[in-house]
Structure 1
Amino acid sequence: MSASRGEFTSRFGFILAAAGSAVGLGNIWGFPTQTAGNGGAAFVLVYLILAFFLAYPAFMAELVIGRHGQANAVTSLRKISNNSTQRIFAFIVGFGGIVCAALILSFYGIIAGWMMSYAVEPVTRVVGLTAVGDWVISQSLARNLLFVSIFMFMTVSIIRFGVEQGIEKWSKRLMPALIIILLSLIGYVMTLEGASEGLQAYLLPDFSRVLDPNLLVSALGQAFFSLSLGTSVMIIYGSYISRKENLVTLGAQVTLIDVSIAFLAGLLIIPAMYVAQASGVTIFGEDGSLVSGPGLVFSVLPALFDGMGSMGVLFSFAFFVLMSVAALTSSISMLEGPVSYVVENHGVERKKATTLIGIFILMLSCIIVFNLGTLLDFVATLSTEYGQPIIGMLCCIFVGWIWHRNNLLSELQSGYEGVEHSLFWKIWPWYTKLVCPLCIGLVFFNSL
């Protein structure tokens, strides 16, 4: 690998960076909201099944493509292509993932900005700036533009420093902080009235709902979104992994961390909803549907924190700092995909490329802010429920049908010499070739 590209300096650094990419608002904001709106424990059960049986194999496909190619998504896919038609297909898939990452970041930055504004609000209350506190949590055009700009500035600042001093360095700092804050909040919420009822809703599934088509497509989209699949992110992260590392165990560890933190987030948010409900906050409608929808975090939890007195200020600050940290660990990975493509394929200097792409994505965010009611949900649905699973499926097709089996085995043997004798190798190649594309396709077309 060219030294100029950079490389993760340790296994621990890659695990935290990849887990940081996977662990974001999709886990801590999206997963509990999807759970609450799709049958509670039934959604959790389906999500866990799809995460390990469809998302993990696709995750491994992207990692292997990246490490073999040692380049951005487009170039890595072209390196395993065998003819001009396949190279065109490689460009479509690779560049499609880059576009998908940019679209996700464009709406993601807006929501992350909201999280940051809610983290600022308790601080303004403490110092007596009540009017400022009211403004930062108001749904105003100026507030949205300000905070999405601040968040994108933070994301760009980290990516400008590259792999070791940017992505890896900050992932090592942010991820442990995220886990500590999350566990502390769970411990407190479990002591409150109503938490036990929330635990039952979260852990005891209604099996009659597990085959609901809407639940299936939502769970699949959530699994792919939370693992950053179909966005070129894991291909580029895979390209930064040393050939001495065992990709099979690395992929399993990242998937396990991602799913575990999503599960922990549910242990916080779902019981907190029922705690808030016990305090008189309306959570569900008469038909059992979720009242707040995607705005759940901004309605339920502030109400919960308000009822906690002086401790509520501290916990409100801690929770929304947690959300902001989770957002940042993901956003840096989403920006890295487009940046790596421009740097490597067009020879643009990294800091310049990062700044220009960051400004372009910020402009997309501003367009969404000016049309929030129509564009936010549209861009989110287009990129996460459709774009990511389709591109993830196409990556599986690349590994299963285009990449020669012996070359694929040779790549996996770097760091795992006995992989051909493992259970993983006996299952994963044909599973990725046949089962994953078929199942992802069936779930997707069923949703149409």
Structure 2
Amino acid sequence: MQKKTDQWSSKLGFILSSAGAAIGLGAIWKFPYMTGMNGGGAFFLLFIGFTIIIGLPLLIAEFIIGRGAQKEAVSAYKVLASNNGWSIIGKLGVFGAFILMSFYSVVGGWVLIYSAMSIPGLIITGTADYQGLFTTITGNPGITILGHALFMIINIIVISFGIKNGIEKASKVLMPLLFIFFIILVIRAVTFEGAMEGLEFFLQPDFSKLTGENVLYALGQSFFSLAVGISVMVTYSSYLKKDVSLPMSAGSVSIMNIFVSLLAGLAIFPIVFSFGLEPTEGPGLLFIVLPEAFAQMPLGELFLCLFLLLFLFAVLTSSFSMLEIITSAFTANKQRSRTKVAWIAGFIVFLAGIPAALSSNVLVDVKIFGLTAFDASDFLVSNIILPLGCLLIAIFITFVMDKALVKQEFYYGRNLSPGLFRLWFPIMRWLVPVTIIIVFVSSLGML
């Protein structure tokens, strides 16, 4: 198969960039508030279980499909299957990335605004009404649209430079710094008075509170946080050399994702309970809790500024992967300019995200099946498109793709035990699709 000219320069660059694509808002922003709204410790335990048993095998599968085809998401399925109809998986992924990016960029805009405000020290003030600050920012249509627009422009510029010069170089430096700052935040959070109540909420599971809806959300969160189901990782791994072990890389990404999710919970919930906040606050939880924590630290304004800038980077690395899958799908034949496609795609995503940006102000009373435009977009991606995409990928790699090629890609780059493939393949063929179907069907009562 023809080698791609645009490739990752190193295994570390690929792993950190994939981790950046997976972590971002999924682990740092969405995981805490989803955990808070869905029962705490029981949700967290389900999330870990789904990530290891379902998400990790799926991540390996997407890596195999991408590197095996050496093509982006849509073309990969055409190359690996005799029936071009399977390209519907890649097309579903591009559509899912488009919808996901449209509301993801809105949150990215919030992070961008908070980052900009933190530089002159405008967040930590004497009033300490951080909930009111978040409501003021998201309630202003001009500010939310501006943040959304600026966030998209940053994405477009980076994607225009391509893989090695855009995404990889930044990931190698800034991802480790984010881990360090998160650990500092956790150390401070657990020392607050009343922190133990928050730790119990997060780490002590109460399964009596779980419903089919909670289980579906936990499954969706595991897919969302690993970025599986929309073939983002198919596109990323298509740039990967053959000397990299896909199972080991997928394991590294999954462990980092669980670790950051754990850090997010350990940082957020002790502060929530210490300051009498509600864990069910929703999407604004992180933006309310972070200033509360840093305000209690020496040099709090400086640390908040640095943390927000690193958080902004984590958010951007995730959004890069989404715009990358859209851009690469339309530049696969090399007949279109990457820069031109990135600008056009980014502008269309910006337009599509305007309803989500306005759903907390101008369009707050406009509902789609009882949900705002923002929440409806999130639900569509996390709980319908991602599980469906994962189900189709599981069927494709075990029933359609050549098993010899699958096995070959599985073992490239590392002398792994022969039994590992014999364990992974049946999990992908039976356990993954059956689990997705059972969880989805059990949750239909809420739709």
1:376 maps to which residue?
374
2:227 maps to which residue?
228
What is the TM-score normalised by the length of structure 2?
A: 0.90
CA distance in 1, matches of 2:298, 2:178: 23
**Range with greater deviation from structure 2 (144-153 or 174-183):** 174-183
Counterpart AA for 1:293 = G
Does the 8 A contact of 2:138 with 2:144 survive in 1? no
CA distance in 2, matches of 1:45, 1:298: 24
Residues 127 and 367 from structure 1, CA distance in 2 versus in 1: closer, same or farther, beyond 3 angstroms?
closer
CA distance in 2, matches of 1:304, 1:219: 27
Does the 8 A contact of 1:339 with 1:354 survive in 2? yes
SS in 2 for 1:94: helix
**Range with greater deviation from structure 2 (189-198 or 331-340):** 189-198
The CA deviation string for residues 48-105 of structure 1, in whole angstroms up to 9 with x for no partner, is 00000011111111110000010111111112212xxx311x2211111011011111
Q: By how many angstroms is 1:3 displaced?
A: 6.6
CA distance in 1, matches of 2:236, 2:118: 36
Residues 127 and 137 from structure 1, CA distance in 2 versus in 1: closer, same or farther, beyond 3 angstroms?
closer
Does the 8 A contact of 2:189 with 2:268 survive in 1? no
2:389 maps to which residue?
391
Instruction: Structure 2 unaligned segments of length 5 or more: list them.
Output: 365-371
CA distance in 2, matches of 1:368, 1:46: 29
**Range with greater deviation from structure 2 (182-191 or 379-388):** 182-191
Does the 8 A contact of 1:30 with 1:294 survive in 2? yes
Q: By how many angstroms is 1:384 displaced?
A: 1.4
CA distance in 2, matches of 1:107, 1:227: 18
Aligned equivalent of 2:278, options 276, 283, 295: 283
CA distance in 1, matches of 2:31, 2:12: 25
Instruction: Structure 1 unaligned segments of length 5 or more: list them.
Output: 285-289
Q: By how many angstroms is 1:169 displaced?
A: 0.9
Structure 1 position 240 matched with structure 2 position 223? no
Counterpart AA for 1:425 = F
Counterpart AA for 2:157 = S
2:350 maps to which residue?
362
SS in 1 for 2:222: helix
Matches within 5 A, 1:1-400: 5-82=5-82, 86-88=83-85, 90-125=86-121, 137=137, 139-209=139-209, 212-277=211-276, 282-283=277-278, 290=280, 292-306=281-295, 308=296, 311-345=299-333, 347-372=335-360, 373=364, 374-400=372-398
Does the 8 A contact of 1:275 with 1:304 survive in 2? no
SS in 1 for 2:161: coil
Q: By how many angstroms is 1:367 displaced?
A: 3.6
SS in 2 for 1:294: coil
Residues 113 and 405 from structure 1, CA distance in 2 versus in 1: closer, same or farther, beyond 3 angstroms?
same
Residues 149 and 406 from structure 1, CA distance in 2 versus in 1: closer, same or farther, beyond 3 angstroms?
same
Does the 8 A contact of 1:112 with 1:323 survive in 2? no
SS in 1 for 2:275: helix
Q: How many residues align?
A: 428
Does the 8 A contact of 2:189 with 2:266 survive in 1? no
Does the 8 A contact of 1:229 with 1:392 survive in 2? yes
Q: By how many angstroms is 1:317 displaced?
A: 2.4
What is the TM-score normalised by the length of structure 1?
A: 0.90
**Range with greater deviation from structure 2 (19-28 or 149-158):** 149-158
Residues 126 and 243 from structure 1, CA distance in 2 versus in 1: closer, same or farther, beyond 3 angstroms?
same
Does the 8 A contact of 2:220 with 2:386 survive in 1? yes
1:403 maps to which residue?
401
CA distance in 1, matches of 2:121, 2:20: 31
CA distance in 2, matches of 1:102, 1:304: 34
Q: By how many angstroms is 1:311 displaced?
A: 4.0
**Range with greater deviation from structure 2 (365-374 or 261-270):** 365-374
CA distance in 2, matches of 1:294, 1:72: 32
CA distance in 2, matches of 1:128, 1:235: 42
Q: By how many angstroms is 1:198 displaced?
A: 1.3
CA distance in 2, matches of 1:335, 1:353: 10
Residues 368 and 40 from structure 1, CA distance in 2 versus in 1: closer, same or farther, beyond 3 angstroms?
closer
Counterpart AA for 1:264 = L
Taking only aligned residues, the RMSD between alpha carbons, in angstroms, comes to 2.4
